[in-house]
Amino acid sequence: MENSSSSSIVSTESEKNSVLNLKETELRLGLPGSDFLEKKAGTGISLFGKDLKDEGNNGFSQIPLKNLVSGAKRVFSDAIDGSGKWGFSMKGGSEVDLGNGGSENNNTLQSCLAGPSGKEIGNPNPAKPVEDKNNENNSTAPASKAQVVGWPPIRSFRKNTLATNLSKNNVVEGKSGLGCVYVKVSMDGAPYLRKIDLKTYCSYAELSSALEKMFSCFTIGQYAPHGLPGQEHLRENCLKDLLHGSEYVLTYEDKDSDWMLVGDVPWEMFTDSCKRLRIMKGSDATGLAPRAMQKCKSQS
């Protein structure tokens, strides 16, 4: 269904291409205004001048460029509904995730258009931004609105201070919209760290799955037999398997600056007290490691 609708829209767009001057759609570079206008003049359409001031169609000018792009816009917004999730897309560090928990969409047009943004772009209706983690977890929508990465535009320092203020004043009760809790995640041996928003996960399982995807590129070498992400084996609660296979332990630094093993306390308590995460080599976590194995086994 989705496949056919997207392909039909694509052909509509190419029909438009042929109806209008193909030159209109040529990807060309030029100085602002000049080349663009020249080419336009030939076809009797001008981007500037009186056409722009046309008051037809609700004040928006009728210009081929716009029509073409609105065709593309339709494709975009159609593709967003119910598309699959990118295997590589991260909830924490990147843009709003579409994830419907569905399988990866093989229709490349669809899936690649679906990638970047999780909401209907250009839709004049005041649509709420969509972050589908709730759908994924089959939980009910939170009382506060769903959050978009980096919006409203507030710096981390202020956000973290706000969160502390609100919790201190007990203003927020049961609201999950307390803001984001960005923590750094390091992995021994990896050349750079990542940052994730703990509030976008609801359980240890989700967290470990996300971390596995984020750091899989650093561990594939050690995990040769089952190497590639996306395979069944690696999809479910894979950090534990990763831990088994490559001797990593997930630890976190809590509010008292102690390094703790992830998984001991209830999830809420963990997100409230976690300051940063570290994927530690098992050999460094002497004493921790055997318990880690046991813990993992008991959690599965």
Partner 1 sequence: MAYSFPEEVLEYVFAFLSSDKDRNAVSLVCKSWYEIERWCRRRIFIGNCYAVSPQIVIRRFPEVSAVKIKGKPHFADFNLVPEGWGAYLYPWISAMARSYPWLEEIKLKRMVVTDESLELISKSFKNFKVLVLSSCEGFTTDGLASIAANCRNLRELDLKESEVEDLSGHWLSHFPDNFTSLVSLNMSCLGSEVSFSALERLVSRCPNLKTLRLNRAVPVEKLPSLLRRAPQLVEFGTGAYSAEIRTDIFSNLVEAFSGCKHLKSLSGFWDVVPAYLPAMYNVCSRITSLNLSYATVQSPDLVELISQCPNLKCLWVLDYIEDAGLKALSSYCKDLQELRVFPSDPYGAEPNVSLTEQGLVTVSAGCPKLQSVLYFCRQMSNAALIAIARNRPNLIRFRLCIIEPQAPDYLTLEPLDTGFGAIVEHCKQLRRLSLSGLLTDRVFEYIGTHAEKLEMLSIAFAGDSDLGLHYVLSGCESLRKLEIRDCPFGDKALLANAAKLETMRSLWMSSCSVSYGACKLLGQKMPRLNVEVIDERGPPDSRPETCPVEKLYVYRTVAGPRVDKPDFVWTMDEDAALRLS
Q: Which of residues 200-229 bind partner 1 (CB under 8 A)?
A: 217
Map residue 148 onto helix, strand or coil: strand
CB 127, min distance to partner 1, A: 7
Closer CB to partner 1, 180 or 262, in the complex = 180
Residues 161-200 that bind partner 1 (CB under 8 A): 161-162, 165-166, 168-169, 171-172, 175, 177-180, 182, 184, 191-195, 197
CB 68, min distance to partner 1, A: 8
CB 264, min distance to partner 1, A: 24
Strands (E), the chain: 182-187, 194-197, 248-253, 259-261, 276-281
Cα–Cα nearest to 131, from 182, 79, 90: 90
Q: Which residue in the set 127, 189, 258, 269 belongs to the binding site for partner 1 (CB under 8 A)? A: 127
Residues 42-61 that bind partner 1 (CB under 8 A): 47, 52, 59-61
Cα–Cα nearest to 159, from 141, 171, 146, 177: 177
Map residue 173 onto helix, strand or coil: coil
Closer CB to partner 1, 192 or 232, in the complex = 192
Q: Is 70 in the site for partner 1 (CB under 8 A)?
A: yes
Q: Tokens at residue 239, please?
A: 């950090």
CB 216, min distance to partner 1, A: 11
- Packing angle, helices 64-80 and 2-19, rounded to 10: 170
Q: With contact defined as beta carbons under 8 Å apart, do 194 and 214 qualify?
A: yes
CB 49, min distance to partner 1, A: 13
Q: Which residue in the set 83, 105, 147, 219 belongs to the binding site for partner 1 (CB under 8 A)? A: 147
Give the separation between CA 274 and CA 255, rounded to whole angstroms: 7
